[in-house]
């Protein structure tokens, strides 16, 4: 063999024999790094396009997330390539892998909760579940998103209480600030009430709502009266609803309740005593 006739050090001879394999490992690692950079740039651009405000807090968080992702991927790819090269030249990496595994296990057990929170935070941001300023219910707490990080979400309740919820504890999210909302008001009437006349009154209230200068711009369609929704023990329930811009349903509901109270006789629990003579 050619290398047996050349007085090369054993290590150099070993490198020469496995040169093509090592070169292939390095090429694959290089391509993996290029692919990682391309994917992260594409995802960052896509997520920023979903955010209408340039330079917002969410944009900065996106940059931070993908900087961490890119750096982590870089370390994983380079470390994997290095181990494969060492294996190719005959270095026993078993003890090294054992040490790395022990350290990784210790760090994993110690940071298990933190990792769960951070991973959940990444998915919350990637799926755009909520943004700062939106009215939501997360982790059983309702309010407005005041702050969001990879580790936790901060919700300001309507009474002013501030809740900090670890992202890993969030199982379901209700968002009232996306696309459209619906103002729904149920009207409980006495059984003696003329229902068709009451429905006409509700239609008048709906028309008045559409002519209200402050609230009309928040409406996305005409108010709808559905008729009798329920027959209770002491009331007949009618319903009026209208689709509104996100977050505007509360003001519309207050207006509807106020007008209903002024124009209709509402039901209330009553006790009747019959005297038998």
Question: Does one domain contain both 165 and 188?
Answer: no
**In a domain? residue 45:** yes
**In a domain? residue 268:** no
- Bridge partners (DSSP) listed for residue 230: 237
Question: Does one domain contain both 91 and 155?
Answer: no
Question: Does one domain contain both 59 and 137?
Answer: no
- List the end-to-end C-alpha distance of the chain, in Å, as a whole number: 127
CATH value at residue 84: 1.10.287.1260
CATH value at residue 150: 2.30.30.60
Question: Does one domain contain both 104 and 15?
Answer: yes
Q: Which residues form the domain of 141? A: 128-175
Question: Does one domain contain both 18 and 81?
Answer: yes
**In a domain? residue 272:** no
Q: From the first residue on, what is the mean pLDDT of each consecutive set of 10 residues in the chain (277 residues)?
A: 50 65 86 87 73 57 69 82 78 67 61 80 82 87 87 90 92 87 91 90 92 91 90 89 90 93 81 67
Judge contact between 179 and 244, C-beta under 8 A. no
Q: Given this model, what pLDDT does residue 107 score? A: 58
Judge contact between 132 and 146, C-beta under 8 A. yes
**In a domain? residue 189:** yes
**In a domain? residue 121:** no
Question: Does one domain contain both 161 and 76?
Answer: no
pTM: 0.57
Q: Given this model, what pLDDT does residue 6 score? A: 45
- Bridge partners (DSSP) listed for residue 266: 189
Number of domains in the chain: 3
* CA distances from residue 96 to 75, 100, 103, 213 in whole angstroms, order as listed: 16, 6, 11, 73
Q: Given this model, what pLDDT does residue 1 score? A: 46
3-state class (DSSP) for residue 241:
strand
């Amino acid at each position: 063999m050619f290398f047996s006739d050349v007085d090369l050090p054993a290590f150099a001879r070993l490198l020469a024999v496995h040169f093509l394999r090592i070169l292939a490992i390095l090429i694959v690692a290089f391509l993996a790094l290029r692919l990682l950079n391309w994917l992260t740039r594409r995802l960052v651009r896509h997520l920023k396009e979903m955010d209408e405000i340039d330079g917002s807090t969410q944009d900065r968080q996106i940059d931070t997330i993908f900087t961490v992702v890119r750096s982590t991927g870089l370390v994983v790819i380079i470390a994997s390539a290095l181990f494969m090269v060492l294996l190719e030249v005959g270095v026993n990496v078993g003890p090294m892998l054992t040490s790395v595994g022990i350290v990784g296990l210790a760090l994993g057990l110690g940071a298990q909760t933190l990792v769960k929170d951070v991973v959940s935070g990444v998915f919350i941001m990637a799926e755009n579940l909520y943004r700062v300023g939106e009215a939501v219910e997360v982790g059983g707490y309702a309010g407005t998103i005041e702050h969001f990080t990879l580790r936790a979400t901060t919700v300001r309740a309507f009474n002013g209480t501030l809740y900090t919820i670890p992202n890993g504890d969030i199982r379901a999210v209700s968002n009232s600030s996306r696309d459209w909302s619906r103002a729904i008001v149920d009207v409980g009437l006495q059984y003696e009430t003329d229902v068709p006349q009451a429905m006409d009154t509700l239609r008048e209230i709906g028309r008045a709502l559409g002519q209200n200068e402050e609230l009309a711009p928040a409406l996305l369609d005409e108010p709808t009266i559905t008729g009798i929704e329920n027959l209770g023990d002491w009331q007949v329930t009618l319903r009026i609803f209208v689709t509104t811009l996100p977050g505007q349903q509360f003001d519309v509901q207050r207006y509807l309740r106020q007008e209903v109270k002024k124009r209709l006789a509402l039901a209330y629990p009553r006790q009747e005593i019959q005297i038998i003579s």
